[in-house]
Amino acid sequence: MKRIIRFLLVSFGVAVAYAAWPVYSALVIREAIIAGDSQTLAERVEWESLRASLKSSLSPETIARLAAEPDAPKPSLWQRVKALVAPKVAETVVDRYVTPETLPVLFGYRRKYREHIRPALGLKEPPTALAGTWLAGGRIDRFASFWARVKSAVFYSPTRFVLDVEDKFHPERHYIGTLELRDWTWKLTGLDVSGSGL
């Protein structure tokens, strides 16, 4: 009986660790982008498939599908022009900036905007999950804040995991990342952007 209980406890521990593994990998990729760690990004991201998935999530078909929703307002002339031009511009931007070397630079500009320009405009930073506690601002707070924005985390197979994360500043925008287990490493192989801003 003790062996069965021990086996069940070990099996449960292994299952929990396996389930947490791709989420941990997603956090490693996120921290590497913030820190500008190009080597980790080169190892943990399949760049060609990532660029292809980003381009397809910004395609004219996606924009047309969103505009065709019954509740969607009638597009203005400017919105129609943007729908025609945005995908072409987006493809160029994705090809140029979605690389292990330049993506951290792009996020660095975004962070400077959020740290310096947003406050100057009177726009407040959303509170973190542990704001007001002694854990505020640390790694635990960053993980808790990230986890609070996770809308779904699903294994589609033992080697394919999809994570849907809400944008920190625009909750209606979602980033849907696909991670695949390759050579005993979870790698980001796809990223779709859905919601406002498409």
State the pLDDT confidence band at 71, using cuts at 50, 70 and 90.
Answer: very low
Who contacts 17 (Cβ-Cβ below 8 Å, separation ≥6)?
none
Position with higher pLDDT, 80 vs 47: 47
Residue 57, token pair as written in the block: 């999530």
> What angle (nearest 5°) sits at the alpha carbon of residue 109, between those of residues 104 and 114?
120
Position with higher pLDDT, 41 vs 78: 41
Position with higher pLDDT, 88 vs 198: 88
Give the pLDDT confidence score for residue 88 in this predicted structure: 59
> What angle (nearest 5°) sits at the alpha carbon of residue 27, between those of residues 157 and 18?
35
Percent of the chain past pLDDT 70, that is, above it, reads 71
State the pLDDT confidence band at 53, using cuts at 50, 70 and 90.
Answer: confident
pTM for the complete prediction? 0.72
Q: Cα–Cα distance between 192 and 6 in angstroms, integer?
A: 42
Mean pLDDT comparison of 95-99, 122-126, 158-162, highest-scoring range: 158-162
Question: Do the beta carbons of residue 143 and residue 75 sit within 8 Å?
Answer: no
Residue of 179, 183, 188 lying closest to 160 (CA atoms): 179
Give the pLDDT confidence score for residue 110 in this predicted structure: 66
Q: Which DSSP symbol is given to 177?
A: E
Q: Cα–Cα distance between 38 and 159 in angstroms, integer?
A: 24
Question: Do the beta carbons of residue 57 and residue 194 sit within 8 Å?
Answer: yes
Residue 1, token pair as written in the block: 């009986």
Who contacts 98 (Cβ-Cβ below 8 Å, separation ≥6)?
47, 50, 51, 54
Least confident among 43-47, 84-88, 108-112: 84-88
